Structure 1
Amino acid sequence: MIDTSVMHHQGDRARRIMTVAAQLFHAQGYEAVTLRQIAQLSGISSGSLYYHIESKQSLLADIIDEALSRLVHASSTADMTQRTPDQRLAVLVRIFMSHVQQDRLALGLAFREVGRMTDLQRAEIEQLHQRYRVLLGLAISARCGMEVNHPRLNQITSSILAVLKSQLYDEAWLVEEEAEALLCGVVDALVQGLDCRTPCMVSKQQMARVD
């Protein structure tokens, strides 16, 4: 018979290690943190730490993967059935802000320390980044009626993502209750005056015929 109390204890210890590591990586930078520090602040010996992790690099990857996966899952499974297209961006902003409260340090690492991982780990994390970016872009295009292949959509998505990411470093400046209206207003301002249909690419030959 499996001793579930032991499994629960091991799970708590692993969670403690990840929390401590995220705090240290955020405060000191990945390179400056040692496994000895992580073990000491987690309340275990350095030797016991390897029972829970493979390496410092794998620990960083696990922290980032878990936080990003939660954000992507929540964003992709949000119930939009009662929302109009122009409200979908507000829903994603609300979800992001709630995850800032839960996973601020880990999400900050997800955008700052990706270069520290192996090529395979980085590829997996970048897939999550891209999935979230696509979800954000779709919500922006739905809000303003912009074609998903419009050349300005990528630029606008990058701008909104940059504002969201700014909440993950130093002191968060966006007030959660105001974030939805602010970012939706930024999108509205960025698309004002644009033809949100995909512009036609007119060749020189076509222009010559028009002339």
Structure 2
Amino acid sequence: MTAATVHSKSVPNNARDRLLDVALELFATHGYQAIGLRDLAGPLGLHAGSLYNHIENKQCLLFELIEGAVSDLLADTKRRMRGARTHRDRLQRFVHAFVVFNLAERRRLLLVTRESVNLTDEQQQAINRLRSNHADLLKAIICAECGETDCIGERTDMITEVVIGMLYGQSLWQSIEVPEQKLLDVLTHSALGIISSGKD
């Protein structure tokens, strides 16, 4: 069992989903630190203390939301990359998975980028392992694109982090609205530029 395991096995799925939905909305809108148990319990028609029948604590609820977001992003990226025939196609599918996830799940991704600092060290390590698995998919593409002998070790890691940073940074845009296809084209072109510059 993870730290985010719900204690009461008898809690109906719809009640559990409502709790997660309320937490996601409030954490993303107001910030994790600004939300107390009363804020979470109110929309559900519960007393704050009764939430402990369903969750270990507020921090574990945050962990569950962030873990679920990164796990879903990783799974969707793997699914979209299946059947890719070239390195460029794999890169485009990797970026496309991120773009689609961000457009559909912006609040969930916001928790990953902004609220992970509120997790325990152990929880952060678990999230970092998932994020590393996601980054490893990109790293394999970069190695293939650069040529295995040219793109190993520290330089590959740096290129990977720059591209990942660009993608997560895009998720924080607030003043620019770009159609999905145009966003995909721009980010893929930018990723290729970063990878190419890293080969020099």
Q: Aligned-pair RMSD on alpha carbons?
A: 2.6
What aligned pairs does 1:130-145 form with structure 2 within 5 A after superposition?
A: 130-145=132-147
Distance across 2 between alignment mates of 1:79 and 1:93: 10
Report which of the two structures shows the higher radius of gyration computed on alpha carbons.
1
How high is the TM-score relative to the length of structure 1? 0.77
The answer on 1:157 being equivalent to 2:160 is yes
Partner of 1:189: 193
Structure 1 residue 11, shift from structure 2 partner: 1.1
- Tell whether the 8 Å contact from 1:88 to 1:143 is kept in structure 2 after alignment: no
Partner of 1:3: none
Structure 1 residue 100, shift from structure 2 partner: 1.4
Distance across 2 between alignment mates of 1:19 and 1:106: 10
How high is the TM-score relative to the length of structure 2? 0.81
- Tell whether the 8 Å contact from 1:86 to 1:142 is kept in structure 2 after alignment: no
Assess, with a 3 A threshold, how the Cα gap between structure 1 residues 187 and 93 changes in structure 2: closer, same or farther.
closer
Assess, with a 3 A threshold, how the Cα gap between structure 1 residues 156 and 63 changes in structure 2: closer, same or farther.
same
Partner of 2:89: 87
Assess, with a 3 A threshold, how the Cα gap between structure 1 residues 18 and 73 changes in structure 2: closer, same or farther.
same
Structure 1 residue 61, shift from structure 2 partner: 0.3
- Tell whether the 8 Å contact from 1:22 to 1:63 is kept in structure 2 after alignment: yes
Structure 1 residue 154, shift from structure 2 partner: 2.4
- Tell whether the 8 Å contact from 2:155 to 2:198 is kept in structure 1 after alignment: no
Assess, with a 3 A threshold, how the Cα gap between structure 1 residues 43 and 138 changes in structure 2: closer, same or farther.
farther
Structure 1 residue 47, shift from structure 2 partner: 3.4
What aligned pairs does 1:107-122 form with structure 2 within 5 A after superposition?
A: 107-122=109-124
Assess, with a 3 A threshold, how the Cα gap between structure 1 residues 43 and 122 changes in structure 2: closer, same or farther.
same
- Tell whether the 8 Å contact from 2:81 to 2:94 is kept in structure 1 after alignment: no
Assess, with a 3 A threshold, how the Cα gap between structure 1 residues 138 and 178 changes in structure 2: closer, same or farther.
farther
Distance across 1 between alignment mates of 2:10 and 2:99: 30
Distance across 1 between alignment mates of 2:154 and 2:57: 42
**Partner deviation per Cα, 1:86-134 (whole Å, 9 max, x = no partner):** 2101101111122113322122211222221122211111111111111
Equivalent AA in structure 2 for residue 154 of structure 1:
D
Aligned length: 190
Partner of 1:22: 24
Q: Which runs of 5+ in 2 are unaligned?
A: 1-8
Structure 1 residue 195, shift from structure 2 partner: 4.5
Report SS of the residue matched to 1:50.
helix
Equivalent AA in structure 2 for residue 26 of structure 1:
A
The answer on 1:61 being equivalent to 2:63 is yes
What aligned pairs does 1:196-211 form with structure 2 within 5 A after superposition?
A: none
Deviates more, 1:155-164 or 1:83-92: 155-164
Partner of 1:177: 181
Q: Give the share of equivalent positions with the same residue, in percent.
A: 29
The answer on 1:11 being equivalent to 2:19 is no
Where has structure 1 moved over 6 Å in runs of 4 or more?
none
Report SS of the residue matched to 1:78.
helix
Equivalent AA in structure 1 for residue 130 of structure 2:
L
Q: Which runs of 5+ in 1 are unaligned?
A: 1-6, 197-211
